Amino acid sequence: TRHIAIVGCGQLAQMMAQEGQPLGITFSFLAEEGENTSCVEGLGELIKLEEHESGEALYQALGRPEVITAEREQVDVALLRKLQQFCPVYPDPHIFEKAQHRLREKLALTESGLPVAPFVPALGADELRRALGTLGYPVFIKSCENGYDGKNQWRVKNQAQLEGAIEEAQSQACVVEAAVDFSCEVSLVGVRSVSGEVKTYPLTENLHRQGTLLVSKAPFHDSQLMRQAQGYLDKLMRDWDYVGALTLECFVTTEGLIVNEIAPRVHNSGHWTLVGAESSQFANHLRAILDMPLGDTQCSSPTAMINMLGVNKSPSQKNEGVWLYGKSLKEGRKMGHVILVDNCVHQLSRRSEAVIDELYR
Ligand code: ATP
Ligand code: MG
Ligand code: MG
């Protein structure tokens, strides 16, 4: 059997393991101090970071994996580099270094020629106020570090809100970016294997609620935007010598796509592939990092994924699958998701609305 170690113990690690088992892959999981591991219990060996001093001891404890991957971008890059002495780490640590820091990420995207919203780096009250002078309202002020699910960022429409954000941001390094006037948000999940085989899923439309993804729908039919997104993803994958799943989050504007951010991993907006594609993003990420031929990424019928944010009950409405991650209930927390498939897009929309009503009423 082939053995993979995953850094992180959340639902993404859980679904990678669930999708990897039929491929004959075994798993071990690396938990940081205090990390909740309920998602991955029973899916493989659980290793606690603090119990192992050296990289070598950790590699041994992880069961001498063939390859190591991570389920989130907020990982200890130095730790990944230590582990890299013993086996490949995909994506490479240099990717995480970019992805976990908004300014480095924006600069890297710009360097590869991808269009991003006008932005200004800022640290402290004076620089934040000056950035507003350059960009004008409205803007998003985003902390360079520890931002996910819309946390650690502030939408600022006027001076009063700016002063509030300055207070909250304190001395964190930030990126101030112009608010993009978009018609909708889309994402593209692609995979690239060690040998360089690339496949992409269809473009997916995403709807957020308070900065957190609520609904994803695929495929988003716009061949021109699809080509544009695919071109950007290909460019990044080649520029970064990328291996694994890579997600591009974009705004759709009258001038085409503006890239919001990337995620160097399987992505919430790709969960629909568990039902809607022959090979899921999780299976294909594993195939990519093990250098196996990639599976089919086509979407045969319109598919929707609805996040269960702070709710833990399965909807009674007809659906094509409910995933419950096994986490303890907390407001706004991603507890699970529901997948719907329907040959009729209108019917799919109606059914999605009904599920959302039932979950959140
Ligand atoms: P994720 O969970 O996707 O990693 P995040 O915390 O990294 O979220 P972003 O993706 O940067 O945050 O922003 C969250 C959401 O806020 C976006 O999906 C979008 O709806 C909105 N948003 C962020 N930046 C902008 C912008 N410049 N213009 C308009 N809307 C924005
Ligand atoms: Mg993000
Ligand atoms: Mg995002």
Note whether 91 and 246 are within 8 A (CB). Answer: yes
Cα of 315 from ligand 2 centre, angstroms: 28
Residue with tokens 């640590």: 93
Q: Look at residue 150 in the predicted model and tell me its pLDDT.
A: 87
Helix ranges, 240-278 (H): 273-276
Beta-carbon neighbours within 5 Å of ion ligand 2: 261
- Give residue ranges with CB within 6 A of ligand 1: 117, 140, 147-151, 153, 177, 179-180, 185, 208, 211, 249, 260-261
pLDDT over threshold 90, residue 149:
no
pLDDT (tens digit per residue) in 268-277: 999 999 999 9
CATH 3.30.1490.20 domain span(s) along the chain: 118-178
pLDDT (tens digit per residue) in 304-351: 999 999 999 899 999 999 999 999 999 999 999 999 999 999 999 999
CATH 3.40.50.20 domain span(s) along the chain: 2-89
The architecture that CATH gives domain 184-360 is 2-Layer Sandwich (3.30)
- Which residue positions form the known binding site? 102, 142, 177-180, 185, 208, 260-261
Section 279-308 average pLDDT: 98
Q: Look at residue 53 in the predicted model and tell me its pLDDT.
A: 85
Q: Look at residue 126 in the predicted model and tell me its pLDDT.
A: 96
CATH 3.30.470.20 domain span(s) along the chain: 184-360
Burial grade of 210 (CB within 10 A; 0-12, 13-18, 19 or more): exposed
Q: For 118-178, CATH number?
A: 3.30.1490.20
pLDDT (tens digit per residue) in 40-51: 999 999 999 999
**93 vs 2, 198, 245, 275, CA distance in Å?**
22, 20, 14, 31
Note whether 122 and 174 are within 8 A (CB). Answer: yes
Q: Please tell me the pTM assigned to this model.
A: 0.97
pLDDT over threshold 90, residue 148:
no
Note whether 304 and 317 are within 8 A (CB). Answer: no
The architecture that CATH gives domain 2-89 is 3-Layer(aba) Sandwich (3.40)
Cα of 254 from ligand 3 centre, angstroms: 20
The tokens of 225 are what? Answer: 């935007």
Burial grade of 111 (CB within 10 A; 0-12, 13-18, 19 or more): exposed
What amino acid occupies position 268?
A: N
Section 183-198 average pLDDT: 98
Residue of the CA atom closest to atom 17 of ligand 1: 211
Section 98-113 average pLDDT: 98
Beta-bridged to residue 213, according to DSSP, are 208
Q: Look at residue 247 in the predicted model and tell me its pLDDT.
A: 98
